[in-house]
Amino acid sequence: MQLNDYRHIVLASAFRIVAIAALGIGIGTVQVHAQSDSDSEAEEATVETGEEPAFVMPRSGPFSPQTIAIPNSRAIGAWARSGHSDASAEAFRHWDEDGEIPPVCAVCHSGAGFRSFHGLDGTDPGIEGPVAIGGVVDCETCHNPQLGNITEITLPSGVVHPVSGAEAACTTCHQGRAAGATVEKATGDLPADEVNEEIGFINPHYALAASTNLGGYGQVGYQYPGKDYSGRFMHAKPITGCVSCHSPHSLSVREDTCLTCHTTSDSKAIRISRFSFDGSGDTTKGIATDIQANADLLMSMIQDYASDVVGTAIIFDGAHYPYFYADANGDGVIDQAEGRNVAYNTWTPRLVKSVFNWKVVTADPGIHAHNPHYALELLYDSIEDLSGPLNVDMASLGLLR
Ligand code: HEC
Ligand code: HEC
Ligand code: HEC
Ligand code: HEC
Ligand code: HEC
């Protein structure tokens, strides 16, 4: 009983914040539940309070928190523990010092920005000016009666993708910010192995599952000329979209879903493919391991290419943007200038492309489930592209595309 009591108190306080801040609940009619242990056994009684009540209390006792049911408590409780509600996360606090979020960022980094962008707040679509800081992915982001009117989303590649329901929300924010087209535009016809000051690291951005899921059709990766790429990873029915696997509130993967078809719910251990893609010959491990192995191989070839072909060693530091740093003297330590780390500044078109693909694949921690085939293809083609100037015999690596 102790634990149960505690849960209700937590949910009650979570509800109050959400109700007041986001939903504006507390008007006119209040649903009061005389409740035993579970919500489903609750009996409902409706109390007419007339004016907006200062306190939500049943008319008769006993007054203790665990007897007061909170509508939507499960959804609120799950959401309150998810990344979407984490107001302390970098994804929501990045603009604290500026005091406002620029429109281009607010689309995905604030519920209010999202609504403004899509015209769900009664204004025309598009964000007029900066958006206030402090917002998260609140309830109204996904529970908006107008959301159903959004029928297509333009991806960073320029591809216009039809959407319906909650998918419109997920696809807006989890599409990344750059695509192969961005890389093509930057590198154009420049000679592949010539350093060019005009080009630099292109960041696909983060958590871009909706784009990786759409694969060669969504074109988030840099797709090498003359190669075919797997399209959207349809998985298998009844898996049709993001919330087939992710609980929309906790965001965690519903592992029991996987067990309908797979023998394990550990996504990293799941494998259907009967071939080894990473040259190990081991098909007992999950497909995620092949993807990781080829991503690691690509990274080591990126480093060799930087040192041997470009002539300036590159150091990757995943914790600090822009992640790729210069090590001109090759001592294994990032160069310093005026007390600051020197970002890598001798990019060639070939390097920009392979680094972009490496980043696309590793920016999506669920890519093995979102689109394993596309991930393997992007990695293979980037490895192959670097193998030329590095004089590496592709066949000797034993990789499969
Ligand atoms: C308004 C933009 C927005 C929408 C809409 C949105 N997300 Fe997110 N999502 C984010 C941001 C920002 C983060 C990172 C939050 C953080 O770092 O705490 C995130 C994090 C996540 C995570 C990582 C898990 C975690 O707890 O950090 C998953 C999974 C996820 N979202 C799935 C979804 C799904 C599925 C949908 C659609 C039902 C969706 N998101 C809709 C912006 C959005
Ligand atoms: C298309 C949607 C989208 C747009 C537009 C967008 N972001 Fe993001 N951003 C995300 C998502 C989703 C995440 C969550 C990644 C995570 O932490 O899981 C994120 C994460 C971040 C992070 C946290 C990275 C980290 O290492 O934790 C920063 C910083 C950030 N974005 C900055 C920006 C800036 C600055 C802009 C505007 C110039 C911007 N974003 C525009 C979707 C977007
Ligand atoms: C990222 C998008 C997203 C956010 C944010 C979100 N929801 Fe939901 N919610 C959904 C989706 C999608 C469904 C439908 C679930 C399904 O069909 O399986 C849903 C279903 C529900 C349901 C129906 C019962 C249930 O739990 O499935 C309730 C109630 C609910 N949400 C309340 C809320 C409340 C309250 C908040 C804010 C605390 C919230 N939601 C935030 C996407 C979201
Ligand atoms: C087949 C099931 C499945 C589908 C469908 C699916 N995901 Fe995932 N997703 C996963 C798995 C598995 C992970 C890895 C989770 C882990 O290891 O914690 C993941 C991870 C993620 C992450 C990174 C979470 C983190 O911890 O940073 C995001 C964001 C995400 N998914 C969003 C989406 C979006 C948006 C969609 C719809 C376009 C989607 N997912 C569709 C299974 C799925
Ligand atoms: C309805 C059956 C079904 C369900 C449910 C299902 N899967 Fe799958 N899964 C498949 C099929 C079929 C494939 C092979 C699809 C293909 O390659 O075209 C697959 C492929 C995969 C792969 C890639 C394996 C490989 O070797 O390429 C991963 C990872 C995966 N599923 C993870 C998950 C996770 C995680 C869940 C639960 C959240 C899940 N699946 C739920 C049927 C299912």
Nearest CA to ligand 3 atom 39: 139
N residues, the chain = 401
83 CA → ligand 3 middle, Å: 14
pLDDT at 325: 98
Cα 128 to averaged position of ligand 1 atoms, centre (Å): 24
Q: Tokens in use for 98? A: 């500026």
pLDDT in tens, 110-163: 999 999 999 999 999 999 899 999 999 999 999 999 999 999 999 999 999 999
Question: According to the model, what pLDDT value does residue 186 have?
Answer: 98
Q: Whose CA is nearest to atom 31 of ligand 4?
A: 366
CA distance 299 to 173: 27
Contact 306, 314 (CB under 8 A): yes
Give the distance, in angstroms, between the CA of residue 136 and the centroid of all CA atoms in the same chain.
15
Burial of residue 61 (CB within 10 Å: 0-12, 13-18, 19+) is exposed
Structure tokens at 249: 């509130």
**Residues framing ligand 3 (Cβ under 6 A):** 18, 72, 74-76, 79, 84, 137, 139, 141-143, 166, 169, 243, 248-249
Q: Nearest-CA neighbor of 305 among 352, 239, 342?
A: 352
Long-range CB contact pairs, 144-153, < 8 A, 24+: 144/115, 144/120, 146/118, 146/119, 146/120, 147/118, 147/120, 150/118
CB 127 within 8 A of CB 135: no
Cα distance between the two ends of the chain: 56
Report angle CA 394, 399, 400 to the nearest 5 degrees: 120
CA–CA separation, 218 and 164 (whole Å): 17
* Residues of the chain scoring pLDDT < 50: 1-49
Structure tokens at 181: 């087209």
Q: Is the dihedral of CA 61, 64, 66, 70 positive or negative?
A: positive
Q: List all residues 6 or more positions away from 301 whose beta carbon is below 8 Å from its beta carbon.
A: 354, 383, 386, 387, 390, 392
CA trace torsion 369, 371, 377, 380 (10° rounding): -30
Encoded amino acid at 147, one letter? L
Is 273 close to ligand 5, i.e. is its CB under 6 Å away? Answer: yes
- Out of 39, 74, 85, 143, give the residue to mutate to test ligand 3, the one with the largest number of ligand atoms within 8 Å of its CB: 143
Does residue 357 contact residue 351 with C-beta atoms inside 8 Å?
no
Q: Cα–chain-centroid distance for residue 394?
A: 32
**Cβ neighbours for 326, distance < 8 A, ≥ 6 positions apart:** 312, 313, 314, 315, 334, 335, 342, 343, 344, 345, 346
CA-321 nearest atom, ligand 2? 26
